[in-house]
Amino acid sequence: MDRINIMINGLPGNMAKAVLKQALSHKHLNILPFSLTSPDIETDRFHFEGIEFELIHPDLREKRILSVIAESEPIICVDYSHPSAVNTNADFYCRHNLAFVMGTTGGERDDLLSKVEASSISAVIAPNMAKQIVGFQAMMAGAAKSFPNLFKRYQLTIRESHQSGKADTSGTAKAMADYFNKMGIDFSSDEIEKERNPDRQSSIWGVPPEHLNGHAWHTYTLTSQDKTVKFEFTHNVNGRDIYAEGTIDAIVFLAHKLANGSKGVVYSMIDVLKAGGQMQGA
């Protein structure tokens, strides 16, 4: 298979750098030395592992992307931008026929999906790119479908902790709340307990100091009305490698789909998992 041209947008953000690090070790990926960046970034250059990236700011991207496409088409973009930029970025990709993998949460999700479905591109869009966590979510989704009202009359508590720079509530926690709703629990995503204070994360939660700037800890607790029964599900992630690894699989998956003529389709990480990590280790 030909090498896949990828444009990792959001540099020098932490998640974009984590994907870049993983991509450098994958022989089928050709990393373009360009990255769309936010207006808050003051520089127009970023260096990583001997590669100089041109950082393209919002006021220049409409013009600059035309030459990038002309030189390197086809391109798959990787998007880990701020939640406030989700829809704007998706509109940009659709207009310029740039297939993309998006792991950012937030934004108007229905509008996001409909834009891709009405376009000539396809995309992988998921609030969580960690394959093992997505697999766990799939199991819970299956339970919700097979056993409605399984936890009826139970009380649910959802607690999640992420680095202080994460602006929104965890998309994974919101998805899990929906599964528990289908299993009979009346619970709003507004009730999710969100922790972003590093001092509390260290002293109360026990997050290792070296991972305060990059972690994702989630606990879902179900308690019976009389408090005699408790179920608890926990998944704690330190660092960002697990998400970057899943992102690479999503890129490879999407490249295969595009090669087979996919247009106007939004894929999830469940689709990526079902495909079995095509081209892994190739």
Annotated catalytic residues are 162, 166
**Does the bond joining 74 to the residue before it have cis omega, within 30 degrees of 0?**
yes
Closest CA relative to residue 81, chosen from 51, 97, 110, 61: 61
Which residue type does 21 have?
A: K
Beta strands, E only, 112-196? 123-125, 155-162, 193-195
Task: State how far the Cα of 91 lies from the Cα of 58, in Å rounded to an integer.
Answer: 13
Phi, psi of 134 (to 5 degrees): -60, -40
Contacts by residues 81-87 (CB-CB < 8 Å, ≥ 24 positions apart): 81/9, 81/10, 81/13, 81/36, 81/38, 82/38, 82/106, 82/167, 83/107, 83/167, 83/168, 84/167, 85/38, 86/112, 87/111, 87/112, 87/115
Q: In 3-state terms, what secondary structure has residue 14?
A: helix
The contacts of residue 39 (CB under 8 Å, 6+ apart) are: 57, 58, 59
